[in-house]
Amino acid sequence: MTVCLNFRILLYMTDKNSHDRKALEAHKRLAGKISVSLKDTLDSKEKLSLYYTPGVAAVSRLVANAPEETRNYTWTNNSVAVVSDGSAVLGLGNIGPEGALPVMEGKAMLFKHFANIDAIPIVLNVHSADEIIAAVKAIAPSFGGINLEDIAAPICFEVEERLKKDLAIPVFHDDQHGTAIVVLAGLINAMKVTSRKLEDAKIVISGAGAAGTAIVKLLYKYANPRMFVVDSRGVISANRTDLNPEKKLLLEYTNKSDIDGSLSDIVEGADIFIGVSKGGLLTQSMVKSMDEDPIIFAMANPEPEIMPDEATKAGVRVMATGRSDFPNQINNAVCFPGIFRGALDNTVRTITDEHKLKAAEVIAGLVENPTPDEIIPAVTDERTVAAIAAVIR
């Protein structure tokens, strides 16, 4: 059995590119990316008696009688649970909790590296809204915040909204709101590069899932531009009879003129294309049909809706992707460490739309002189966490 398993792994690694092989080797060498460290040593009997029995009983009695003191005596003042059911992992789809675990570990690694937050990956082998909510509520007393991750739409919407109502700690679905915040930040600067106003722009969003929905709502809140959302069956309009409740809600913010058609139809004359859908959907001819100096955020991973070299040939002015190997990476890692750093430090119970808008403006402001190749600060920019945390109050 072991020989067979090793052969399958070797065959998989042989078939992948060199970067994938390096990633597999690095993960196997470390056997995961995170570990638990201690804030003090247990190098004496006195310390053992203080931190464990009998001393810890005094702390337990105190917080049992005054639960509001828990964050002052435990790690909840600096801890976040990174929770996923593995139903919408990266561009890989529903690959289950085991498949999600390396991504959640990576998220925890980013929390610690950028914001010094202790984050714990929690993958759940349940998939209904009720089950996910029950599991998160059961573990919530151990944490100061909940970061929901890679939970498929439409369940993710219900999960977040119900948990926000039921828990006294911040709950943030990063796939939705982290993506939306960074997209808005990038667009604020793209507007400067192209001398446009966001409120006057025609925007086409490809993808009506978690990220697409959050982007629409945040852009509406910020500037109320003219927006159209496209799913696999075309433009979302009031004329369609196949819309689920979540897609019907998008009509409150988009397509006020009830236009029907395909992506190629609606993208004609658009100022901005935002892709959170599927690789290869946007063609050069579609880009050429857009307005002068088009802005394209093609964020499908690992393959964008259009590759930057193809978009450049078609006349794109500002190009962004979700990838780190091209300029202008639109990545929610730019914002979520700062969001939670501010929420934990300032005892924020709910992360509001106002917090998100302020965070986007702060991120945009970190790029002093935007250019077509620099509209967003790098994930590694050391200023970002503190700047965002300062406005999450």
pLDDT tens column, 228-244: 999 999 999 999 999 99
Same domain, 314 and 273: yes
Rounded to whole angstroms, the Cα distance separating 43 from 135 reads: 37
- Band of the pLDDT at 16, cuts 50, 70, 90? low
Rounded to whole angstroms, the Cα distance separating 195 from 193 reads: 6
Residue 10 scores a pLDDT above 80: no
Catalytic (active site) residue 107: yes
Catalytic (active site) residue 253: no
Same domain, 191 and 308: yes
Q: What percent of the chain has pLDDT over 90?
A: 87
| Beta-bridge mates of residue 118 | 79
Residue 17 scores a pLDDT above 80: no
Global model pTM greater than 0.85? yes
As a whole number, mean pLDDT of residues 362-391 equals: 96
Q: Is residue 16 part of a domain?
A: no
Out of 12, 16, 22, 52, the active site residue is 52
Structural domain of residue 148, as residue ranges?
A: 57-169
> C-alpha angle 123/39/62, rounded to 5°?
85
- Band of the pLDDT at 30, cuts 50, 70, 90? confident
In degrees rounded to 5, what are phi and psi of residue 325?
Answer: -95, 10
pLDDT at 339: 98
Q: Is residue 35 part of a domain?
A: no
* Whether the bond into 154 is cis, omega within 30 of 0: yes
Q: Is residue 34 part of a domain?
A: no
Residue 151 scores a pLDDT above 70: yes
- Give the domain-ending residue among 141, 169, 197: 169
Place of tokens 């990174």: 82
Q: Which tokens is 129 given? A: 């809204």
Same domain, 151 and 198: no
Helix, strand, coil share of the chain (percent; to 5): 50, 10, 40
Lowest mean pLDDT among 13-22, 252-261, 308-317: 13-22
Same domain, 132 and 199: no
As a whole number, mean pLDDT of residues 41-58 equals: 94
pLDDT at 350: 96
pLDDT tens digits, 295-307? 999 999 889 999 9
Residue 199 scores a pLDDT above 70: yes
As a whole number, mean pLDDT of residues 70-89 equals: 96
Same domain, 280 and 364: yes
pLDDT at 292: 96
Same domain, 300 and 359: yes
Same domain, 349 and 373: yes
Residue 11 scores a pLDDT above 90: no
Tell me how many domains the chain contains.
2
Out of 107, 247, 356, 358, the active site residue is 107
| Per-residue burial over 343-368, b = 16 or more CB atoms within 10 Å of its CB, e = otherwise | bbeeebeebeeebbbbbbebbbebbe
Q: Is residue 266 part of a domain?
A: yes
CATH number at residue 87: 3.40.50.10380
Rounded to whole angstroms, the Cα distance separating 358 from 250 reads: 23
- Give the domain-ending residue among 169, 199, 223: 169
